[in-house]
Structure 1
Amino acid sequence: MEIQRPVIKLMVLHSQHNNNNSPLSNTKSKWRISFSRSSSSPTKTETPVTKPEIPSEFLCPISGSLMADPIIVSSGHSYERACVIASKTLGFTPTPPPDFSTIIPNLALKSAILNWCHRWSFPPPQPLDIAAAEKLIFSLMAKTRKVSVSEKELIQAIKDKPLVRLDHAATELDRRPNYFNSSSDESVASSSRVLQLTTRPSCFSSPSSTEIEPNSSSPEEDAVLIKLNSNSISETEEALVSIRGVTKVDEASRINLCTTRIISVLKSLIVSRYTTVQVNATAVLVNLSLEKTNKVKIVRSGIVPSLVDVLKSGVLEAQEHCAGLIFSLSLEDENKTAIGVLGGLEPLLHLIKVGSELIRHDSCLALYHLSLIQSNRRKLVKLGGVQILLNMVRLGEMTNRVLLILCNMASCSLSRPALLDSGGVECMVWVLRREVSESTKESCVAVLYGLSYDGGLRFKGLAMAANVVEELVKVERCGRERAKLKAKRVLEVLRAQMEDDASSPENEIDWEELLNSGESVSRSRCVNSSEF
């Protein structure tokens, strides 16, 4: 709108005198200044301000929305971070196909977007939620993906004509983090049947009737195998995404698709050099393992060595799925020994220290269930697992969860000497002296109870040196019922040994020599730790 400026008019009035002809000295000038509005420019009406058009380079090519957290990939394209994560998880390839192998925050573009929003009084964009991004990707896949007739028939046949119906899945890995709450007491309560340490270590058994597959394959299985064995990577990815979706929600499909031939193909796909193939193949196996009848079948297919390779060198998402898969498979007693023999313990021990939060959770759960078997406890000792677990307790890393594994180790005569030699008693007393939860104290007392099980003289010497009696008395007075009971039993063991020593002065023991011996001596037997 044009602003009207006032026009200054200068009026000069001259009054001349007759007798003075000089223009300078005899002329008196009077100046008048007046203000008026210019009538030369007509008044214009105000027009509404229109919102500017968003520059195309500020829009995410996948979502089409203004980017809040832009990242740049190896191919040079910029995307919203949540859209890239969802695309990698679900195996979606935008157009043009980008390279998602390297992701770098695009700070310059983010700053330009914020400056543009501030300049035009435009509300700044909010980061997209992962769940919303996955929903968006699913909708894009539904629009762009051409589903063949055979695939439609496969999904419909699985839903309409299931071979087996189960009331519920054996476990739900989508809720895996719930196994670890704020206290170990809740973890113990959620698996109380296993913590009784009475699990039957049976590694082999005759197959049941539900594990025997018919010789003739079904058309649905043949259709799946054709897609999985396709020479086109995109077609293989499409088949894996479809199978992953249907096995996630349908129980019967998990039974029908868990055949020897399909598992054999998946075994080769989980070590693929293509990220989306590797991630989706491991995710399909996780879904199949939810059914109890599939757990032994999957392990017997010989897939554990491939899972170990993924744990060691797979991409992060595949490692997360793989750790959850081994945890799911370890719930079955018949699989525990096989997983330990085939090398599953070593990468799990490594990942509980350096893995992501989800990997550490599932690896800890898997080690807990695997350590219920005596042969696996022996292997954990050889791998230095006792020292690793005690160091994690000292550093305060996943203390409640690691203590559950140490309870299994302390209850076994094969792993107990290594726990004593590594400073297990001192570590438990150190935790008891800190401000910790009641459930953590109970777990520490449970470890001490396991170490005192055979009444060994070495445990007595270490307990006396660490002044464990003082801490156990506190737990016996103020702890919870289960902690009180175990603390009382450990104190009874120590008092009984003191009375025996007092009544037998001829059997004086050099405690200093015993503490430095590195052996676990017992009145009933002597277990030499060199056997490890």
Structure 2
Amino acid sequence: MGHNTRMDQEEETWNQKKQNLIQDLARKIIHGDLDTKIQAAKDIRKLAKSSVKTRSSFAAAGVIQPLVSMLLSSNLDATEAALLALLNLAVRNERNKVRIVASGAVPPLVDLLKFQNGSLRELATAAILTLSASASNKPTIAASGVAPHLVQILSSGSVQGKVDAVTALYNLSTCTENCTPILPAGAVPPLLVLLKECRKYSKFAEKTTALLEILSNHEEGRSAISDTNGGILTLVETIEDGSLISTEHAVGVLLSLCQSCRNKYRELILKEGAIPGLLRLTVEGTTKAQEKARTLLDLLRDTPPQRRLASEVLESIVYDIATRVDGADKAAETAKKLLQDMVHRSMELSMSRLQLRAASCTPSEMPPA
């Protein structure tokens, strides 16, 4: 029992020391000269790492407003020290995120995104990402004109900068109070490049495809997607290799294109060999993805026979067999099994065999549904 009491006393002493240190650093950041403020900001950054409670204690001691004021300093060391301190104060602390934005941090952060100084620009991007995770901050940040600067980072930032910019744009795109789209159509080419280069199964791909789906709801965005070299192919590859979420968004993009102007986009989508991935999605995707894939297949299917492409012939044959064998209800499931069988071999070689099967197949020869 005595051991526990001693431990409790030691913890209390340590907490008191920490509290005194927090108060001391708050005095320095509020009243000190520039050098004192810079050192205090560095110390706040270190100490703020330790716990959510410490971060809250710093906020209660009044350090946020003076740190935000330091972001406006012409001294880059002061700006960087303040930025790093604010980042640590915001991590996993919703109230601090709100306080930082309420203290006027967004305009100086947007200014820092215009900077040529790479490290400060990346830190500002990380700060916008962190602060935009809070729902109540989204309207303020979305209205600040930050989006074009984040889009620029998609092309010119470091790998981490690009990841942070995509995530920040994703956070802002879910801002329900912001009716006007915050994403400029100029975001399309860099987003498609990033999607092409990243692992299609990653969280990053999920956010990138989500942004592309938002952009595909506007004519400018749709044109930018089809005008970008390899853009539609990248979306088709995502449907084939992506996670449940990224495939859902990717098929949503293609559906949006095809619904807006079937004549313009249909051939472009078919040419990239979208049918097999869409067929698989009708069975393996999320409920929304299945629905979107079926709708898109219907839009892609109906064409004059002489203009049908190989992939479309394949798709109609598979559905024809599946419907005759198992009826319309189970057609998608049977089609999936047939398709998996074909994907393992060369599709061109499978074509003639499939056509023969379509003409002569009986239910007993088919795999059980």
Q: What is the TM-score of this pair, normalised by structure 1? A: 0.46
Contact map agreement 1:425 1:463 (CA 8 A) in 2:
no
Q: How does 1:409-428 map to 2 (within 5 A)?
A: 409-411=212-214, 415-424=217-226, 427-428=230-231
Equivalence for 2:101? 299
Task: Provide the rounded CA distance (Å) in 2 between the counterparts of 1:408 and 1:353.
Answer: 15
1:351 pairs with 2:210? no
Equivalence for 2:79? 278
Equivalence for 1:321? 123
Deviations 1:290-337 (A, max 9, x none): 112222221122110011112222743333332222111111111112
User: What SS does the corresponding residue of 1:446 show, helix, strand or coil?
Assistant: helix
Match of 2:16 among 143, 154, 157: 157
Equivalence for 2:28? 227
- Cα distance change, pair 345–298 in 1 and its aligned pair in 2 (3 A): same
Q: How does 1:187-266 map to 2 (within 5 A)?
A: 223-230=24-31, 232-259=33-60, 261-266=62-67
Query: Quick check: 321-330 or 282-291, which moved more?
Result: 321-330
Task: Provide the rounded CA distance (Å) in 2 between the counterparts of 1:300 and 1:324.
Answer: 18
User: What SS does the corresponding residue of 1:378 show, helix, strand or coil?
Assistant: coil
Q: How does 1:408-487 map to 2 (within 5 A)?
A: 408-411=211-214, 415-424=217-226, 427-431=230-234, 438-439=241-242, 443=246, 446-452=249-255, 456-459=259-262, 461-467=264-270, 470-477=273-280, 481-482=284-285, 486=289
Structure 2, unaligned runs of 5 or more: 1-12, 305-369
**More relative contact order, 1 or 2 (CA 8 Å, 6+ apart):** 1
Shift of 1:470: 4.1
Residue-pair matches, total: 287
Equivalence for 2:294? 491
Q: How does 1:13-412 map to 2 (within 5 A)?
A: 156-157=15-16, 159=18, 223-230=24-31, 232-259=33-60, 261-290=62-91, 291-313=93-115, 315-373=117-175, 375=178, 378-381=181-184, 384-390=186-192, 392-393=194-195, 396=197, 401=204, 404-411=207-214
The structure that is helix-richer by fraction is 2
Contact map agreement 1:158 1:253 (CA 8 A) in 2:
no
User: What SS does the corresponding residue of 1:258 show, helix, strand or coil?
Assistant: helix
Task: Provide the rounded CA distance (Å) in 1 between the counterparts of 2:288 and 2:26.
Answer: 57
User: What SS does the corresponding residue of 1:313 show, helix, strand or coil?
Assistant: coil
Task: Provide the rounded CA distance (Å) in 2 between the counterparts of 1:347 and 1:317.
Answer: 15
Equivalence for 1:93? none
Structure 1, unaligned runs of 5 or more: 1-153, 161-218, 503-532
Task: Provide the rounded CA distance (Å) in 2 between the counterparts of 1:402 and 1:391.
Answer: 11
Task: Provide the rounded CA distance (Å) in 2 between the counterparts of 1:332 and 1:435.
Answer: 29
Deviations 1:251-291 (A, max 9, x none): 21200212594222111212323333222211110111111
Task: Provide the rounded CA distance (Å) in 2 between the counterparts of 1:433 and 1:472.
Answer: 9
Q: What is the TM-score of this pair, normalised by structure 2? A: 0.63
Task: Provide the rounded CA distance (Å) in 1 between the counterparts of 2:266 and 2:27.
Answer: 64
Bigger radius of gyration among the two: 1
- Cα distance change, pair 348–377 in 1 and its aligned pair in 2 (3 A): farther
The structure that is strand-richer by fraction is 1
Please, what is the CA RMSD of the aligned residues? 4.0
Shift of 1:238: 2.1
- Cα distance change, pair 296–277 in 1 and its aligned pair in 2 (3 A): same
Shift of 1:498: 6.4
Shift of 1:430: 1.3
Query: Quick check: 297-306 or 314-323, which moved more?
Result: 314-323
Task: Provide the rounded CA distance (Å) in 1 between the counterparts of 2:241 and 2:300.
Answer: 28
- Cα distance change, pair 270–294 in 1 and its aligned pair in 2 (3 A): same
